[in-house]
Structure 1
Amino acid sequence: MNRKSWRAVSSRWIVGGLLVAALGACSQSEHKVAALEPKDDTACSLDGMILKDYAGPKAQIHYTEGQPDFFCDLMELFGVVLTPEQKRAVAAIYVQDMGKTDWDHPQGNWIDAKTAVYVVGSKKHGSMGPTFGSFSNEQDATAFAQKEGGKVLRFEQITTDMVSMGSSSAAHDDGMSH
């Protein structure tokens, strides 16, 4: 094979390899799970409450197999996520950005739960009483905590003790401050 032929063949292989890589990236992005907006009759996976009937941020867990679970309250979400019994493979978890949606009638503004910033221990209530606020940025979370009380935390800082529905939990501690 002469030099010209070799360059032509190797160029085709390189272009072909890039095409295959690009197609692989396309198929991976097609499998990426997007947040779904709950319908008027979407019920909480744990208690059957209709999500749109209650104030406060909602959540959804998408599994690698099967239908997503919706939650009418972030306390319920973290109760499931932090439970050692949770064995289903999770593809994505979404919460609502309360810096961009109305607390009393939240709609849309879904963000990745693992990158969100949370306010734990505020005076604001969700469907089950005291709940966490979820935000896409620390500035909004801090402003919320200054107005409503509570402490600003990251996803990985939330513990089962904070999620406890008992009156001694951090989420029920009105004295907690930022």
Structure 2
Amino acid sequence: MNPVLRQLMLAALAATALTGCEQSATSTAVAPVEINHGTSCALDGMLLADYPGPKAQIHYAGQAEPDFFCDTVEMFNIYLSPEQVRAVHGLFVQDMGKADWDVPRDHWIDAKNAYYVHGSKRRGSMGSTIASFAQENDAVKFAAEYGGKVYRFADITPDMVALDGGALHDSNM
């Protein structure tokens, strides 16, 4: 066989193999993991089950368990940080249109498809939080009752999620 033709065939075979690997790695669905009484926040070790408000989780490539966050603000702060370079395979928040605010369990939704209310008077585990909803009408209803403005995932900016000592102002801790 012609050496040039052989090299071309090997290169094509390698490219096909790599493409197949990429497709299988990205087509694997990531599912949210439910919290339990021992689930702690990746940032500060707080037990998620002990605090009100929406929780969040980030699934990273090559990491078996997600990083959990006791507040959506923490999740956004990490995700939107310029230092965040790990490959993210999934972001989940709780649908507060269905979950109990004081004892949120279950009702995980894809964070990128959610509606968010920033600036409400409802407090989460770290004080001010960003409420998350699967349905726009639930977010609008929440904002009408508790204040705040409705945003989509792409509209949340780093300055909206600064971790500036919210725990210092939390009277529930």
Instruction: Give TM-score, length-normalised by structure 2.
Output: 0.78
Coordinate RMSD, CA, aligned: 2.0
Q: CA deviation at 1:99?
A: 0.1
Code of the residue aligned with 2:153 in structure 1: it is F
Q: Name structure 2 gaps, 5 residues minimum.
A: 1-23, 167-173
Distance in 2 (CA, whole Å) between partners of 1:108 and 1:57 is: 10
Aligned runs of 1:21-40 on 2, under 5 Å? 31-40=28-37
Distance in 2 (CA, whole Å) between partners of 1:107 and 1:28 is: 29
Match of residue 61, structure 2, among 64, 89, 92:
64
Instruction: Give TM-score, length-normalised by structure 1.
Output: 0.76
Q: CA deviation at 1:40?
A: 0.9
Does the 8 A contact of 2:77 with 2:163 survive in 1? no
Q: Higher strand fraction: Structure 1 or Structure 2? A: 2
Q: Deviations over 1:51-103 (max 9, x none)?
A: 00000000000112113100000110111011011111000000000000110
Structure 1 range deviating more: 76-85 or 27-36: 27-36
* Equivalent residue number for residue 74 of structure 1: 72
Distance in 1 (CA, whole Å) between partners of 2:88 and 2:126 is: 24
Percent identity between the aligned chains?
56
* Equivalent residue number for residue 91 of structure 1: 89
Code of the residue aligned with 2:78 in structure 1: it is V
Structure possessing the higher radius of gyration over alpha carbons: 1
* Equivalent residue number for residue 149 of structure 2: 151
* Equivalent residue number for residue 121 of structure 1: 119
Q: Which secondary structure does the structure 1 equivalent of 2:113 belong to?
A: coil
* Equivalent residue number for residue 160 of structure 2: 162
Does the 8 A contact of 2:117 with 2:132 survive in 1? yes
Q: Which secondary structure does the structure 2 equivalent of 1:121 belong to?
A: strand
1:46 aligns with 2:43: yes
Distance in 1 (CA, whole Å) between partners of 2:26 and 2:79 is: 25
Q: Which secondary structure does the structure 1 equivalent of 2:73 belong to?
A: helix
Q: Deviations over 1:92-123 (max 9, x none)?
A: 00000000011000000000000000000000
Distance in 1 (CA, whole Å) between partners of 2:162 and 2:26 is: 37
Paired positions, count: 143
Q: Which secondary structure does the structure 2 equivalent of 1:123 belong to?
A: strand
Superposition misfits of 4+ residues, deviation over 3 angstroms: 27-30
Code of the residue aligned with 1:109 in structure 2: it is H
